[in-house]
């Protein structure tokens, strides 16, 4: 990727206070995101993949300031917006939108599809005339594959896939520069999932919007993303161009993730040697010292308990970053 990034995240930390903990009610923070750096360039899709509790959604929300970062900078077109108030964020909201995992739960059940999709319009262009408003909503509906005559229906009258289209239409109607899509297809059926993935890809091409695509499914993330960021317990393990990450993963965790994902082809599965990593994810309340992955890493050495590996370029490519003391 070249040129100026749209979004540049540096040293991002989001720590949540928890009440459980030591003596005298001392609180220890849950470090949901713990020192994350990445950029997003105009028009690209950056995939963020990670298991539960890795901090994927928290990053997405911190980008939009729906959660206040504990530390770090979130530079939007060169301006640090970390800690911006709602009012300060308002003008930026036009340019940054979000699509959520559970389509039905994220839509107001008492509003019609048309009013939901028009919400950003009503906020930012309140002077708009009724017939133009309707025309723009219907144009957007057609773009996301909804019949424009369904404009007056309510969310419960739509299927999950259709509700996700409503959410996408709402996010796209102001032609934002960035959309954060947080597990946008995880709650959908396989056949519907493919429709939404194709739709996002088409809209991105057509409208040139940048996308942060968050998912636990590496195959989906790989399919839609130009670059992929692999997250584990609030820390970035590896970032690379999507093809490179797949063909030449350098972090042991990325390698394990790739090997763990079942491939829908019996021949491939039969010939596969699985590189299983043991145990469960450690609690983010009590992350391992040194490298957070060391307790499950097949290559861990004594040094991994001491030193925190920095995210550094590896293999001669400036855009392939790996956080491992003993990378491949």
Q: Are 184 and 207 in contact (CB under 8 A)?
A: no
Q: Kindly write out the interface string for residues 227-246 of this chain, putting x where it contacts other proteins by CB under 8 A and - elsewhere.
A: ----------------x--x
195 binds other proteins (CB under 8 A): yes
Q: What CA–CA distance (Å, rounded) separates 281 from 287?
A: 9
Distance in Å, CB of 156 to other proteins, minimum: 14
- By CB under 8 A, tell whether 159 contacts other proteins: yes
Write out the binding residues for other proteins, residues 53-92 only, by CB under 8 A. Answer: none
Identify the burial level of 89 via C-beta atoms within 10 angstroms of its C-beta, where 0-12 means exposed, 13-18 middle and 19 or more buried.
Answer: middle
> CB-wise, 135 or 147, nearer to other proteins?
147
Over the window 285 to 324, marking each residue x when it contacts other proteins by CB under 8 A and - when it does not, the resulting string is -----------x----------------------------
Q: Given candidates 23, 264, 302, 316, which one binds other proteins under the rule CB under 8 A?
A: 264
DSSP 132-160: HHHHHHHHHHHHTT--GGGTT--GGGS-H
Q: Give the interface segment with other proteins, choosing from 8-16, 34-42, 80-88, 222-230 (CB under 8 A).
A: 222-230
b/e string for 294-320 if b means 16 or more Cβ within 10 A? bbbbeebeeebeeeebebeebeeeeeb
Q: How far is the CB of 283 from other proteins (least distance, A)?
A: 9
265 touches other proteins (CB under 8 A): yes
Between 130 and 190, CB nearer to other proteins: 190
- Residue 305's Cα: distance from chain center in Å? 29
The set of residues, in sequence order, having a beta carbon less than 8 Å from that of 108 and lying 6+ positions away, is: 116, 155
CA distance 299 to 145: 48
- Which of 209, 210, 211, 214 is closest to 230 using CA atoms? 214
Angular region, 60: left φ>0, alpha ψ -120 to 50, beta rest: alpha
Return the H-helix or E-strand segment holding 318. strand 317-322
With contacts defined by CB under 8 A, name the span among 89-97, 149-157, 251-259, 309-317 that binds other proteins: 251-259
Per residue in 235-250, is it b (16+ CB within 10 Å) or e — as a string?
bbbbbbbbebbeeebb
Does residue 264 contact residue 89 with C-beta atoms inside 8 Å? no
220 near other proteins (CB under 8 A): yes
Stretch of 11-19, 22-30, 122-130, 272-280 contacting other proteins, by CB under 8 A? 272-280
Distance in Å, CB of 198 to other proteins, minimum: 5
Q: Which of these ranges, 26-34, 71-79, 170-178, 252-260, lies near other proteins under the rule CB under 8 A?
A: 252-260
Q: Binding other proteins by CB under 8 A: which of 143, 222, 235, 251?
A: 222
Q: Which two tokens stand for residue 45?
A: 């899709």
Give min distance, CB of 53 to other proteins, in A.
Answer: 9
Identify residues 175-194 at the interface with other proteins (CB under 8 A). 189-194
**Nearer residue to other proteins within complex by CB, 4 or 269:** 269
Is residue 224 classed as helix, strand or coil in its secondary structure?
Answer: helix
Instruction: State which residue, 216 or 299, has the beta carbon closest to other proteins.
Output: 216
Binding footprint of other proteins on the chain (CB under 8 A): 51-52, 159, 161-162, 189-195, 197-198, 201, 216-220, 222-224, 243, 246-247, 256-269, 272, 274, 276-278, 280-281, 296
């Amino acid at each position: 990727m070249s040129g100026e990034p749209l979004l540049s995240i540096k040293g991002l930390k989001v720590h949540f206070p928890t009440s459980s903990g030591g003596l005298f009610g001392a609180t220890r923070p849950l470090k949901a995101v713990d020192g994350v750096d990445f950029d997003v360039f105009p028009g690209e899709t950056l995939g963020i993949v990670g298991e539960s509790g890795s901090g994927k959604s928290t990053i997405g929300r911190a980008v939009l300031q729906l959660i206040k970062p504990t530390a770090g900078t979130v530079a939007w077109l060169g301006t640090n917006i970390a800690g911006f108030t709602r009012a300060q964020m308002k003008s930026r909201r036009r340019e940054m939108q979000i699509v959520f995992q559970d389509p039905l739960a994220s839509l107001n059940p008492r509003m019609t599809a048309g009013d939901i999709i028009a919400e950003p319009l009503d906020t930012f262009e309140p002077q708009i005339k009724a017939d133009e408003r309707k025309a723009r909503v219907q144009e957007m509906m057609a773009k996301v594959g909804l019949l424009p005559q369904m404009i007056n229906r309510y969310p419960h009258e739509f299927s999950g896939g259709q509700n996700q289209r409503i959410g996408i239409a709402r996010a796209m109607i102001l032609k934002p520069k960035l959309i954060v899509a947080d597990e946008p297809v995880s709650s959908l059926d396989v056949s519907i999932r493919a429709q939404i993935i194709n739709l996002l890809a088409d809209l991105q091409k057509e409208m040139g919007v940048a996308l942060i695509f968050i998912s636990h499914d590496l195959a989906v993330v790989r399919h839609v993303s130009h670059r992929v960021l692999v997250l584990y317990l609030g820390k970035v393990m590896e970032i690379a161009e999507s093809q490179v990450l797949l063909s030449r993963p350098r972090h042991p965790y990325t390698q394990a993730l790739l090997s763990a994902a079942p491939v829908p082809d019996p021949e491939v599965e039969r010939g596969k040697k699985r590189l299983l990593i043991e145990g469960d994810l450690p609690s983010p309340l009590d992350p391992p010292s040194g490298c957070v992955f060391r307790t499950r890493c097949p290559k861990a050495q004594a040094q991994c308990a001491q030193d925190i590996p920095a995210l550094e370029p590896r293999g001669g490519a400036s855009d392939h970053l790996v956080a491992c003391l003993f990378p491949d």
